Structure 1
Amino acid sequence: MTMTELDPAVARTAWRAAEPVHGMIYFAPEAHQRYAALGLGGRMGYFASRAAALGPVGAEAVVATFFNFNPALVRAAIPDAWRIAAPEDVLRARLEAADAALRRACDPDLLASPELAEAAALARRAAESASEHPEGRPLFAATAALPWPGEPHLVLWHAQTLLREYRGDGHVAALLLAGFSGIEALVLHAATGAVGAEILRRTRGWSTAEWDAAADRLRSGGLLEAGDEPGLTATGRERRQWVEERTDLSAVGAYEVLGSAGCARLVELAGRISRAVVEAGLLNVAGAGSDVHPGQDG
């Protein structure tokens, strides 16, 4: 267990405050347009763009690191994507898309503001601190090896991308320790009511039969209530809370370098950019060109 003086809840709040700055890349039309220009349509663009930091890996590496997607969905995109576009071209398109989308969301004064530059510096400091401990975090480590962009809004985007993958790799480890498969993690997430089961099932490519079978396993284990849209039992809530606490503990180390005051400042500053992203509609799932997005399930 990680020993830390920083409250893990403080680190989680800092991560959430800036998450829209990263998360918009999965929904922004600027991204889908650039992937399509390379010949990568729909789901292929998602899998290739997020996995490109790993290099031209096979489908099984993506199945393992992405964790909760139906392997058949991954195999339909990877490795064919690398025969269409090289990983370095996909990474370039992704960065260009982030630039264009953030420029659309943020007015020029915000982009040039000292507040945005400060937010970028704080997030980068946390991300670079995380980069000192890449062990057991393959998707994060691969992304951390990429060069840093120069402009502050892209520094903030890249830093938050790193922090998201750092947390995500730790989250997968916690789910595995808890004994959950990828689809079971999704079913548990749906049972909290935070995200609809149909959205999670469809975007991750699972059939209704596969989803129902996973729900039956969890119900047999005493984690799900009965019914078509089951909630968590007391045992289910306890097990899920265990995963959340371990995820928080595994991610807090990145933010210790900022301390509570630095985290609070990042929340304040990044919140303004995140609001601009949301208000610009960059997190509009319905308007996205792909029906696959990550999200931390659990």
Structure 2
Amino acid sequence: MALSARELWRILEPVHGMIYFVPEAQERFAALGLDRMAGYFASRAAALGPVSGEVVVATFYNFNPVIVHAAVPAAWSVTTPAALVEARYEAVGAALRRGLGELADDVSELAGLVRGAAERACEVPQGRPLFAAHAALAWPEDPLLVLWHGQTLLREFRGDGHVAALLLEGLSGIEALVVHAASGEVSAEALRRSRGWSEAEWADAVEGLRSRGVLDAEGGLSEAGLAVRARVEGLTDSAAEVAYAGLGEGERERFVELARPLSRAVVASGMLPFAKR
């Protein structure tokens, strides 16, 4: 059975995700006048241009609007989207070379597979604003940056589809986080703090989902809640599959074979603070 879009995305996600935690990014964003939180929001939104906080709230979906508005549009008064895009690529190259060591010198084959999938996604950008903005950026020349940019496109492509699935299920940003926490995959405290929600706001969301029958009395997923989560994840997976549709079973297996050592190296290097080593 061919590997799914979820498996292909997840196996390489550490290579993308490290950019949100590595010091190379914080240093470059600080040099542009941004603190850690502003650097995160502005650098990820930079492909959209100097957008309002409302646009970031809408496209990032599960962050507390208060912390978004504290960062954007104020960031555009001290730097530009173009400068942030450049700084992000510089940080990616430096961080991955540090974390991957010699593995960073031999990524051309995987970069080609990832780019092929990302370019297929670029054929269907409709309804995916954050993805479409990143897809409009020029492809880097360095194979290592091609790999990262391609995975970034695939990640935002999947993310935009996930937002659509959440909307169809009537889950707000904070409710989506509560459901995720109730699945047991990530702690509620980690999700609440990282997205800027207060304990009171989280408790209100829990109570609202309990009243709708999504959570049980103990705060876990009810039978109905399990069905909701299954529908959301199923729709997300289905919407993402088009990007990988051109990869045959052998290519998917090769994708995983090449990607696994890179992701393991990123995790082993400590670049992802919440990942198991």
- Quote the residue 2:105 is aligned against: 112
2:129 corresponds, among 138, 147, 158, to 138
Q: Distance in 1 between matches of 2:274 and 2:51?
A: 28
1:254 corresponds, among 240, 243, 260, to 243
1:238 corresponds, among 223, 227, 234, to 227
1:153 corresponds, among 140, 144, 157, to 144
TM-score (norm 1): 0.90
- Cα deviation, residue 285, structure 1: 4.8
Q: CA RMSD in A?
A: 1.3
8 Å CA contact retained: 1:10, 1:260: no
1:12 corresponds, among 6, 10, 27, to 6
Q: Deviations over 1:32-55 (max 9, x none)?
A: 111011110021000001000000
Q: Which runs of 5+ in 2 are unaligned?
A: none
- Quote the residue 1:284 is aligned against: 273
Q: Distance in 1 between matches of 2:27 and 2:249?
A: 40
Report how many aligned residue pairs link the two structures.
275
8 Å CA contact retained: 1:11, 1:263: no
Q: Which runs of 4+ in 1 moved over 6 A?
A: none
- Quote the residue 1:190 is aligned against: 181
Q: Distance in 2 between matches of 1:102 and 1:48?
A: 21
Q: Deviations over 1:105-153 (max 9, x none)?
A: 1223x2222xx21000000000000000000000000000001111111
Q: Distance in 2 between matches of 1:73 and 1:100?
A: 28
Q: Distance in 2 between matches of 1:121 and 1:273?
A: 15
SS in 1 for 2:270: coil
- Quote the residue 2:153 is aligned against: 162
Matched, 1:36 2:30: yes
Q: Distance in 2 between matches of 1:188 and 1:199?
A: 13
- Cα deviation, residue 171, structure 1: 0.1
8 Å CA contact retained: 1:19, 1:160: yes
Task: Give the % identical residues.
Answer: 60
- Quote the residue 1:3 is aligned against: none
- Quote the residue 2:208 is aligned against: 217
Q: Deviations over 1:181-208 (max 9, x none)?
A: 0010000001011111111111111111
8 Å CA contact retained: 1:35, 1:41: yes
Q: Distance in 2 between matches of 1:285 and 1:46?
A: 17
TM-score (norm 2): 0.97
Comparing both chains, which one has the higher relative contact order based on Cα–Cα distances under 8 Å and sequence gaps of 6 or more? 1
SS in 1 for 2:137: coil
Q: Which runs of 5+ in 1 are unaligned?
A: 1-5, 287-298
What amino acid is the match of 2:263?
A: S
SS in 1 for 2:44: helix
